[in-house]
Amino acid sequence: MNSEAVSALIAKSPSLKAAKAKLEAMEPGAYVVHRSWGFGQIKSYDDGTQRLLIDFKGKKAHPMDPSFCISTMDVLPPKHLLVRKETDTAKINELIADNPAQLVVEALQAYPNNAATVIELEITLAQVIGEEKFKKWWSAAKKLVAKDPRVAVPEKKTECYVLRETPVSAEDEIMEQFNGTRSARRRIGLAEELLATLGKKEFKGDLSTVLDGLAEAVKISNQIDDAERLYGAVVRDDLAKALGSDKVFEPTQATIIANVRDLPGIAEKIPVQFQSRFLELIQETHPIEARDVLFSLLKTSQGKFTTECINFLVGQGHADELAATLKRWQTEQNLRAPVLLWIVKNRHSKKFAKLLNDLITPRLLGAIFFAIDYEALQASSARRIPLADILSEDTDLISDLLSTADPETARDLANTLMLNQGFEELTKKSLLARFIKIFPKIQSLVAADAESKEEQLLVSRASYDRKREEYETIVSKKIPENSKAIASAREHGDLKENSEYKMAKQDQQVLMAQKTLLEKDLGRARVSDFKEASSEQVGVGTVVNVKHAGGSATTYTILGAWDGDPDNNVISYKTAFGAALLGKKPGDTVKVKTGGSEDEYTIVSIARYTDKA
């Protein structure tokens, strides 16, 4: 719009005067972002209708009132990345592929004061790169941006990326942050970052001050626990070695290890990259009892530390003893979920085949079911159970574990599976199918189950999807929210007098009942398109014209168990009226009780629903 057009709008509506600058920016050729329709370009302004004509994706020459655009649409500066994506596509694509840090620099140049919040920048970059590719691209790009001396990287999402007037190297920035904090935990992290940069380039700063500050933090700070102090000592000693210093600092790594009683507690907290070195320290510090300590750590280990423990024990020549210990733990039912997970994942490994061969038995499957059930009962949320996932995803696992089973053992294990709390009903059925493939007689166990005795439910695809969505909402949203509410209510004190806790527990009972019922219904459901319906007799998927004994005629559509829509005369075949009509032919009469009265209907005609739809 030109100045005359803007003046005309303001004369018509004086309240627009405050937005004069923004209105003047809405000129033909300008690129914009609308809150609802996204990126677009102003093509022209119609003086007669006082409307902007804007090309949005899928909306060409879309007319819009400029006064409404003030609060819902932003005019982008020419240097904005979204604009350049249109006007200089080749260059932007080149930066995306080859120079992500420069792309971020140029993105910041388009913002006021050369600064943008994390959220603002990520939204812009996601629009430029594409939502599907953005997450992976940004994960790698952030590391490059963090090393770029031109950009100040925020520590929190609420802070800003800032384009510096004077570039500052990553090392200088770390030094500045180190000297500016008294937090021992923060100093350990910063020293580790600084250590990672050494050797890659020449550093002119005074690292001795960092070493002294770190040594002091490790020695006297009461803000860090034993795991953090130990790792701080490792970073301290590595930094001293990199600087060529042979000074011995206190406490030494060995001293910390020797004085700590809760080594499993430290193992849970140390960084993954330090786990192997941690085991070496134990070996050096406790040479006599190291083997027993290592087996104790393995027993309670989690995640990657389980693998580190086993590799270390094998490397120390304890493979035979490890095999015997695992077998003993299996007999004693002391194999915990992380160790069980490692066993099944590595059962085909050449390196561990001899070690694990005797463990791959039906007894191991029983231990797995016990561990899954225990974890499900202990969980305060609907989080994933890794052992349950691998049992479902690894299609050969059950057959491998049942390879030496007799029919009676397999039947007992199948029964254990059916009672397990750690699987959804649909997953249980999938796993039971693998049992039945090997031991067909287990089918009788499934048939004896109360749920499987119930008839199937015929349902439409749309109604099934609605039920499934309802189930997913309960499992992934409502149950976790309820678990948080219970945990929060616990913090308010005495549970006997805690009304919030009681209400949350009542909600939990309702949600679990809904979950169980939906699992049961979804397990019985069979999706149908109703194409098999006949026009010769009433069935699911037929349109029936009936005549009431009083003379009135009505047409009803008989559909699936969850498809009832009385307002449109669509009824489920599971209703009393629907069930009464099933199997009837033209000319037949049916009597249906409604309330205290009984109505009589005559079937006039029958048509297929799919022919009418």
Burial class (CB in 10 A: 0-12, 13-18, 19+), 451: middle
For 48-80, b/e burial (b = at least 16 CB within 10 A) is eebebbbebeeeeebebebbebeeebebbeeeb
Of the ranges 104-113, 180-189, 259-268, 491-500, which one carries the lowest mean pLDDT score?
Answer: 491-500
Please write the tens of the pLDDT for every residue from 240-249. Answer: 998 888 888 9
Q: Measure the CA–CA gap between 234 and 539, rounded to whole angstroms.
A: 76
Confidence check: pLDDT of 497 > 60: no
Highest mean pLDDT among 12-21, 319-328, 419-428: 319-328
Query: Counting beta carbons within 10 angstroms of the beta carbon of residue 286, is it exposed (0 to 12), middle (13 to 18) or buried (19 or more)?
Result: middle
DSSP string, 181-233: ---HHHHHHHHHHHHHHBTTB---S-HHHHHHHHHHHHHH-SSS-HHHHHHHH
Quick one: average pLDDT of 599-603? 90
Looking at residues 51-77, what average pLDDT do you find? 90
Q: How confident is the model at residue 201 (pLDDT cuts 50, 70, 90)?
A: low
* 205 confidence band (pLDDT: 50, 70, 90): low
pTM for this predicted structure: 0.54
Residue 453: per-residue pLDDT = 46
Q: What's the pLDDT at 465?
A: 93
Q: What tokens appear for 455 in the block?
A: 């008839």
Residue pair 67/8 in contact (Cβ under 8 Å)? The answer is no
Confidence of residue 491 (pLDDT cuts 50, 70, 90): low
Is it true that the peptide bond before 251 is cis, omega within 30 degrees of 0? yes
Pick from 85, 110, 83: nearest CA to 95: 85
CATH of domain 3-75: 2.30.30
Q: Cα 368 to chain center, whole Å?
A: 24
The Cα–Cα gap between 422 and 385 comes to 8
Q: Is the pLDDT assigned to residue 333 strictly greater than 80?
A: no
Nearest by Cα to 459 from 526, 522, 518 = 526
pLDDT at position 490: 62
Architecture category of domain 457-527 in CATH: Orthogonal Bundle (1.10)
524 near 457, Cβ under 8 Å? Answer: yes
User: How far apart (Å, rounded) are the C-alpha atoms in residues 267 and 302?
Assistant: 9
Phi/psi of residue 304, each to 5°? -70, -20
Euclidean distance between CA atoms 201 and 206, whole angstroms: 15
Q: Are 137 and 103 in contact (CB under 8 A)?
A: no
Distances (CA, A) of 219 to 191, 259, 407: 15, 14, 63
> Which tokens belong to 151?
């950009």
78's enclosing H/E stretch is none
Q: What sections of 33-99 are H helices per DSSP?
A: 66-72, 81-87, 89-98
Q: Which one, of 554, 562, 561, 565, lies nearest residue 592 by Cα?
A: 554
Question: Can you tell me the distance from the alpha carbon of 450 to that of 436, in angstroms, rounded to the nearest whole number?
Answer: 18
Q: Name beta bridge partners: 525.
A: 457
Comparing 409 with 378, the larger pLDDT belongs to 409
The residue among 229, 203, 227 whose CA lies nearest residue 216 is 229
Q: Which residues contact 60 (CB under 8 A, 6 or more apart)?
A: none
pLDDT of 451 over the 60 cut = no
pLDDT of 496 higher than 60: no
Largest CA distance in the chain: 107
Work out the pLDDT band at 508, boundaries 50, 70, 90.
confident
Are 379 and 329 in contact by the 8 Å Cβ rule? The answer is no
E-state strands within 397-524: 457-459
pLDDT above 70 coverage of the chain, percent: 93
Give Cβ neighbours of residue 291 (< 8 Å, ≥ 6 apart): 316, 318, 321
Which pLDDT score, from 0 to 100, does residue 452 have? Answer: 47
Supply the pLDDT for residue 595: 64
Q: Give domain limits for the chain.
A: 3-75, 81-168, 171-323, 366-453, 457-527, 542-612
pLDDT at 495: 47
Q: What pLDDT, on the 0 to 100 scale, is given for residue 498?
A: 62
Instruction: Find all residues with CB under 8 Å of 407, minimum gap 6, and list them.
Output: 439, 441
Model confidence over 99-147: pLDDT tens digits? 999 999 999 998 888 999 999 899 889 989 988 899 999 999 999 998 8
Please give the average per-residue pLDDT across 180-187, as a whole number. 91
Burial of 248 (0-12, 13-18, 19+ CB in 10 A): exposed
Q: Tokens 């000592």 sit at which residue? A: 233
Helices (H), 243-352: 253-259, 263-269, 275-285, 290-299, 304-315, 319-331, 337-345
Q: Distance between CA 71 and CA 65 in Å, rounded?
A: 11
CATH of domain 81-168: 1.10.10
**In this structure, how many other beta carbons lie within 10 angstroms of the beta carbon of residue 513?**
10
**Residue 37 structure tokens:** 């329709």
Rounded Cα distance between 259 and 226, Å, is 10
What value does the mean pLDDT of the chain take? 88
Model pLDDT for residues 210-222, shown as the tens digit of each residue:
899 999 999 999 9
- Determine if residue 203 is left, alpha or beta; phi over 0 gives left, psi from -120 to 50 gives alpha, anything else beta: beta
> pLDDT per residue over 519-550, tens digit each?
888 888 889 888 888 889 999 999 999 998 88
Instruction: Show Cβ contacts of residue 234 under 8 Å, excluding neighbours closer than 6 positions.
Output: 253, 274, 277
**pLDDT mean over 430-450:** 82
Task: Take residue 456 and report the two structure tokens written for it.
Answer: 């199937």
The pLDDT value recorded for residue 437 is 93
DSSP string, 489-507: HHTTS-GGG-HHHHHHHHH
Residues 270, 231: contact at Cβ < 8 Å?
yes
**Candidates 3.10.50.30, 1.10.760.10, 2.60.40.3950, 2.40.50.140; correct CATH number of 542-612?**
3.10.50.30
Task: Encode pLDDT of 141-168 as tens digits.
Answer: 999 998 888 998 887 888 899 998 888 7
